Amino acid sequence: MIGLDLPDHGVKTKQGPQGPQVFDPVRRLWVALTPEEWVRQHFLNHLIHDLGCPAGLITVERGLVLNGMPRRADIVVHAPDGAPLAVVECKAPSVPIRQATFDQAARYNSVFQVPVLLVTNGRTHFACHIDRSTGAVRFLTALPDHAAMLALRPV
């Protein structure tokens, strides 16, 4: 697969009956290895191993209903009380991060109401703090760890 600008924490792959697969440690199952899934699994491992997000507080492909249509957020990080903290939108490495990607994450956030949006294609990563009281969006200079995500929650 394509090299990413994310640490390699030993993402597990295998050849399955339907083609290449990758192991998702949160869902605890083997899934089809697509370029987007490659990014999702590396980012997921980065959240857990480098940014201190407990695996038990992460959901992958979290379902939501948006304008009456079922959708799935790639990754949602939660606080210990279960409240969502961050929505992560993953794209394949070949997909440039554009306004449409941020718009998609913002639409999902209209449901989740998180203070942090993360967008990645495995090579380029963006983190935004959303001030729910004012609607202001501030780009962060680095990907926040779990403690920083908790600190960005409204009081």
Q: Domains in the chain: how many in total?
A: 1
Q: Please give the pLDDT value at position 132.
A: 86
- Is residue 58 assigned to a domain? yes
pLDDT beyond 70 at 34: yes
- Is residue 6 assigned to a domain? no
pLDDT band per the 50, 70, 90 thresholds, residue 8: confident
Tell me the two tokens of residue 39. Answer: 């990014």
Q: What range defines the domain where residue 62 resides?
A: 13-151
- Is residue 8 assigned to a domain? no
Count of C-beta atoms within a 10 Å radius of residue 86: 28
pLDDT beyond 90 at 3: no
- Is residue 107 assigned to a domain? yes
Q: What pLDDT, in 10s, does the model give residues 79-106? A: 999 999 999 999 999 999 999 999 999 9
Q: Please give the pLDDT value at position 154.
A: 87
- Is residue 134 assigned to a domain? yes
Instruction: State pTM to two decimals.
Output: 0.94
Distance CA 79, CA 82 (A): 5
The CATH number of the domain where 123 resides is what?
3.90.1570.30
Q: Please give the pLDDT value at position 56.
A: 97
Q: What percent of the chain has pLDDT over 90?
A: 92
| Mean pLDDT (whole number) for 4-14 | 93
- Is residue 2 assigned to a domain? no
Check: CB of residue 87 under 8 Å from CB of residue 112.
Answer: yes
DSSP 84-112: EEEEEEE--TTS---HHHHHHHHHHHHHH
| Mean pLDDT (whole number) for 57-78 | 95
- Is residue 4 assigned to a domain? no
- Is residue 29 assigned to a domain? yes
pLDDT band per the 50, 70, 90 thresholds, residue 50: very high
